[in-house]
Amino acid sequence: MASHGTDRRVVITGMGAVTPLGNDVHTFWQALLAGHCGIDKITRFDAAAFDTRVAGEVKSFVPGPAFPSPKEVRRADRYSQFGVFAGHQALLDSGLDLNRENRDEIGVIIGSGIGGLETTTEQHKILLERGPSRMSPFTIPMLIGNMASGLFSMYNGLRGPNFSTCSACATGTHALGEAWRAIKMGDAQIMFAGGAEATIIPIGIGSFCAMKAMSTRNDDPKHSSRPFDRDRDGFVMGEGSGVLVLEELEHAKARGARIYCEFVGYGNTADAYHLTSPAPGGEGAARCMKAALRSAGLDPSRVSYINAHGTSTPQGDVCETQAIKTVFGQHANKLAVSSTKGATGHMLGAAGAVEMIACALAIRDGVVPPTINYQVPDPECDLDYVPNTARQMPVDFVVNNSFGFGGHNATVIAKKFVG
């Protein structure tokens, strides 16, 4: 096993994505920079009776190449299919030859906020209509939230640290932070980390509708998710997965890996306040960002860009804005802050990982993705949200925020790699 020591540096060497904007990283990134929107009317079921009838659906998804056989695909819930497929993409992108690696030192953390909700719904219907003897023996393995991690490790023989994070909308970012810690502490050389979610089904949409949490701008799907805009009226559900390869620097250099950026900080706090509402003033989010900056040994004035959680909810966007001002002071007015959820919808447990891919590519390409659908400024949200058009600019340090129901906060920081 690798030697221990917190001075170990960690870099990102591979990425994979399944999103409403496309089912690979390149397609996702080009669509995001072009200001495209992956949100439209729901097609996966008849949503006529629902208050919200729009979502960011994954289209034209074919999971087969990432699975050993069609039978294994059928034994995986849609969320696991997304996670395994994104992991497979990340593996190919990284250039890793697993036959030349010690697989005891390669781990997987692919989290899910909700897990196999579709399987749960389908099997419960079978239980009620046809009885318990007709339920699938794969019900539990398909619905549990750790199985994307489990399947990806099994298919690739990865025997290092393996578990799943579950912290609602902070899930993917927590997975990345815990993977970074595993490498820093010498528990692994390489970690596949991210999140996966698939909840665009009647119970998923209906439950969030009952909370009055989602946009009801059903006649204008492309403009329904509008982070930081004065007329925002709730989030829009998305689905998909993002998985990144985190790797110990010397190991990456020894194999000649392409390095996207360096992962340098992680913060993790609780609001301890309310089931669904953020703490007043974004107090918990502010402590989280401060913790991430502290772990990175980074002065706030050096941050170039924040990929905001920015869900398009009336309260959440205000609290995050307040938290950024608390942490960054006068520098907050010089920051580029954008939310990509106007384009993808809110991918719940997958959001933070997909947004980390956007952060890594912002560093690589020197361009910040826009906050689309930003039309009417909100006096309470008065930062530079990179409205509607991507911006060319030097990006040296990025902060990626995710905040989840239950008061879970996660922030990670990456920087341009300098050998």
Q: How far is CA 411 from CA 118, 162, 177, 333, in A?
A: 29, 21, 8, 20
Average pLDDT value for the chain: 97
CATH architecture, domain 11-254: 3-Layer(aba) Sandwich (3.40)
Residue type, 282: G
Residues in the chain: 419
What's the rounded Cα separation, in Å, for the pair 140 and 163?
16
Residue 3's pLDDT is what?
41
Mean pLDDT of the 126-146 span: 97
| pLDDT tens digits, 275-289 | 988 899 999 999 999
Three-state SS string over 6-29 comes to CCCCEEEEEEEEEECCECCHHHHH
Ordered by start, the domain boundaries in the chain are 11-254, 266-415
Q: Which of 350, 116, 351, 386 is nearest to 227 (CA)?
A: 386
What's the rounded Cα separation, in Å, for the pair 368 and 385?
10
Q: Does 143 score more than 80 pLDDT?
A: yes
| pLDDT tens digits, 46-73 | 999 999 999 999 999 999 999 999 999 9
Residue 45's pLDDT is what?
97
pLDDT band at 419 (very low <50, low <70, confident <90, very high): confident
Mean pLDDT of the 132-140 span: 97
CA atoms within 13 A on the CB side of 362: 35
Class of domain 266-415 as given by CATH: alpha beta
Mean pLDDT of the 141-152 span: 98
Q: Does 7 score more than 90 pLDDT?
A: no
DSSP state of 250: H
Residue 5's pLDDT is what?
57
Helix (H, G, I), strand (E, B) or coil at 141: helix
| pLDDT tens digits, 249-304 | 999 999 999 999 999 999 999 999 999 888 999 999 999 999 999 999 999 999 99
Catalytic residues: 169, 309, 346
pLDDT band at 6 (very low <50, low <70, confident <90, very high): confident
Q: Does 12 score more than 70 pLDDT?
A: yes
Q: Do domains 11-254 and 266-415 have the same CATH topology?
A: yes
